[in-house]
A and B are shown apart, each in its own frame.
Chain A
Amino acid sequence: MPVTYRLAKDFNVAANIIRAQVAPNQIGTLVVELSGDIDQLDAALDWLRSQDIGISTASREILIDEDLCVHCGLCTGVCPTEALSLDPQTFRLNFGRSRCIVCEQCVPTCPVQAISTNL
């Protein structure tokens, strides 16, 4: 089913695909950021549910294991929103959760595997 097409056509909802895992005859996963009129968004979500599409609105989060992190800062160079940054004085890693768009580029970048997602 062309899900994002229907969202746009029927509900005027823009779907920004952040991550997708879709294969023929298998259950796929689509991580999308939806933007549009609030009522139409609700209607779009209702429609998705009616199509037997499981929706998880609990936002995916990046988790940093403080015990593993060595504050090298390698992740800060690949973080597009600068949610990950080094404190200019202490050089400790800062994670500004509100700026994170969960693009997950930091996850494979971390050399000590201290970064993961909650899902």
Chain B
Amino acid sequence: MKTIADINDKIQQQKAVVWTVEELKARVAELGVAKVAKTVDVVTTGTFEPAESSGAVLNLGHTDPPIKIRQCWLDGVMAYSGFGAVDLYLGASQMAELGGAWDSPDPEELREGKTRTVQRERGGGHVIADLIAGKPVKLRAIGQVTDCYPRASVETTITRDTINQFYLFNPRNLYQNFIVGVNGGDRPLYTYLGPLQPRLGNAVYANPGALSPLLNDPDLNLVGIGTRIFLGGGVGYVAWEGTQHFPLQKRLPNRTPIGPAATLALIGDAKQMGDRWVKGCYFKGYGPSLMIGIGVPLPVLNETVVERCAVQDAELVAPVVDFSIPRRVRPTFGLVSYAQLKSGRITIDGRSVRSAPLSSIFLARQVAQELKQWIEAGEFTLTEPVAPIPGDRAFVAQDRWGAQINLE
């Protein structure tokens, strides 16, 4: 069977056969696994979904006199600065602040009679997307005065071209499967899955199902630390296991998990990214986040790869979770398949409920298509993982309320 080096040779000669995972699924149905495995070299997967555990590392470059930043706001959104003098981390779900130290009026704007309008429904995700789009962003920072860094404050405007490093480092992206949110209570709920209407008014799913990168490599045999990927329109890499990585989730015989399972930490140069693939978003009554397009190439090393990638929406399931019980472990209404979810209606307790996605299947397909074109053009080669993603992480909870009575 093939190796990644063999495939890269073909990519460099622009002779590699690259299919999107949907093209592969269609041809497997037609030709069977063995024939397809002989033909195709690389399968591209994609997703475009909100990922609030995302953020950007920025290095501003030093001012003169220099400053050791201890508090910092970018367009009114606080960025973490508890490391080197002008290093910042801007989290996607950090909310814009109204008032506060950063929000003193701009003298120029006051002269022109403009009023400062800080949009409430904004956050770190929007600022990251603005920087990627090449827009200017206002920065206000307060420093700790030291002999090394005598400056106490700075106000300036930055763009992605006027700072040193600007890269995304997302601690948790690419959920391998997720939950379906519903509301069995009697008042509307505003959640990270958007508004959930009372009395099972709607159901929201957040994973593109059979298109989803990690559902096509369920045991993470092909994806590991160092895997080169499409991240927000630029080139990124798998940096580590993601936070809340839970590979021990229960699995179906096809090895796909029945709920949230593996996650990955991703890294990539934001200066290469495009605003088409990275968007700030805001969930009413919940907060800001970042929507990002992520594509993962899967090398067809053997027939098993094709077999796994042939998985269909009807063979993938997610648990329907009731958000009206605000506890860590919420009651579920059982499992539904992605084929049912994508049909627009699911049945819960005998009732027909409208189901809507939160990840854009339309844009996920475009991600897979774009990555396919990069590989076909010989611009993007595959990488051998440097180390595997652990397969045995437990999912630990923080607190256990009430008396802990062990009956054993």
Residue of B nearest to A87 (CB): B362
Return B183 CB to nearest CB of chain A, in Å: 11
Given contacts A78-B197, A109-B194, A112-B279, contact A72 B359 (CB under 8 A): yes
| Count of A-B residue pairs with CB < 8 Å | 79
Given contacts A78-B195, A108-B195, contact A113 B360 (CB under 8 A): no
The answer to whether A85 and B365 have CB atoms under 8 Å apart is no
Given contacts A73-B356, A78-B195, A78-B197, contact A92 B279 (CB under 8 A): no
Given contacts A70-B48, A77-B354, A86-B344, contact A109 B195 (CB under 8 A): yes
Interface residue from B197, B291, B344, B363 paired with A111 (Cβ < 8 Å): B291
The answer to whether A108 and B202 have CB atoms under 8 Å apart is no
* B204 at the A interface (CB under 8 A): yes
| Interface flags, B271-295, vs A, CB<8A=1, else 0 | 0000000011111100001010000
Residue of A nearest to B285 (CB): A108
Give Cα distance in the complex from A3 to B37, angstroms: 72
Residue numbers in B under 8 Å from A93 (CB-CB): 362
Residue numbers in B under 8 Å from A112 (CB-CB): 279-282, 291
Interface residue from A74, A82, A91 paired with B362 (Cβ < 8 Å): A91
* B121 at the A interface (CB under 8 A): yes
Give Cα distance in the complex from A111 to B279, angstroms: 10
> Which chain B residues (333-349) contact chain A, with CB distance < 8 Å?
343-344
| Interface flags, B353-385, vs A, CB<8A=1, else 0 | 011111111110100000000000000000000
The answer to whether A109 and B291 have CB atoms under 8 Å apart is no
Residue numbers in B under 8 Å from A108 (CB-CB): 195, 284
> Which chain A residues (7-43) contact chain B, with CB distance < 8 Å?
none
* A44 at the B interface (CB under 8 A): no
- Of A76, A78, A88, A93, chain B has the most CB atoms within 10 Å of the CB of A78
Give Cα distance in the complex from A75 to B360, angstroms: 12
Residue numbers in A under 8 Å from B204 (CB-CB): 74, 77
The answer to whether B283 and A111 have CB atoms under 8 Å apart is yes
The answer to whether A91 and B365 have CB atoms under 8 Å apart is yes
Residue of B nearest to A72 (CB): B360
Interface residues on A, range: 20 to 34
Residue numbers in B under 8 Å from A75 (CB-CB): 356
Residue numbers in B under 8 Å from A73 (CB-CB): 356-358, 360-361
Given contacts A76-B344, A91-B365, A92-B362, contact A111 B202 (CB under 8 A): no
Residue of A nearest to B289 (CB): A111
- Of B201, B280, B354, chain A has the most CB atoms within 10 Å of the CB of B354
Residue numbers in B under 8 Å from A71 (CB-CB): 360-363
Given contacts A70-B363, A71-B363, A74-B204, contact A85 B344 (CB under 8 A): yes
Give Cα distance in the complex from A73 to B343, angstroms: 12
The answer to whether A77 and B362 have CB atoms under 8 Å apart is no
| Interface flags, B281-325, vs A, CB<8A=1, else 0 | 111100001010000000000000000000000000000000000
Residue of A nearest to B48 (CB): A70
The answer to whether B202 and A77 have CB atoms under 8 Å apart is yes
Residue of A nearest to B356 (CB): A77
The answer to whether B279 and A74 have CB atoms under 8 Å apart is no
The answer to whether B291 and A86 have CB atoms under 8 Å apart is no
Give Cα distance in the complex from A82 to B344, angstroms: 10
Residue numbers in B under 8 Å from A78 (CB-CB): 195, 197, 201-202, 356
The answer to whether B362 and A111 have CB atoms under 8 Å apart is no
Return B335 CB to nearest CB of chain A, in Å: 19
> Which chain B residues (11-59) contact chain A, with CB distance < 8 Å?
48, 50
* A90 at the B interface (CB under 8 A): yes
The answer to whether B355 and A77 have CB atoms under 8 Å apart is yes
A-B contacts, 27 listed (Cβ < 8 Å): A70-B291, A70-B362, A71-B361, A72-B48, A72-B291, A73-B356, A73-B357, A73-B361, A74-B357, A76-B344, A77-B203, A77-B204, A77-B356, A78-B197, A85-B344, A86-B356, A86-B357, A91-B357, A91-B361, A93-B362, A108-B284, A109-B194, A109-B195, A111-B289, A111-B291, A112-B281, A112-B282
A-B contacts besides A72-B291, A112-B291, 13 pairs, CB < 8 Å: A70-B291, A71-B363, A73-B358, A73-B360, A74-B194, A77-B203, A82-B354, A91-B361, A91-B362, A91-B365, A105-B195, A109-B195, A112-B280
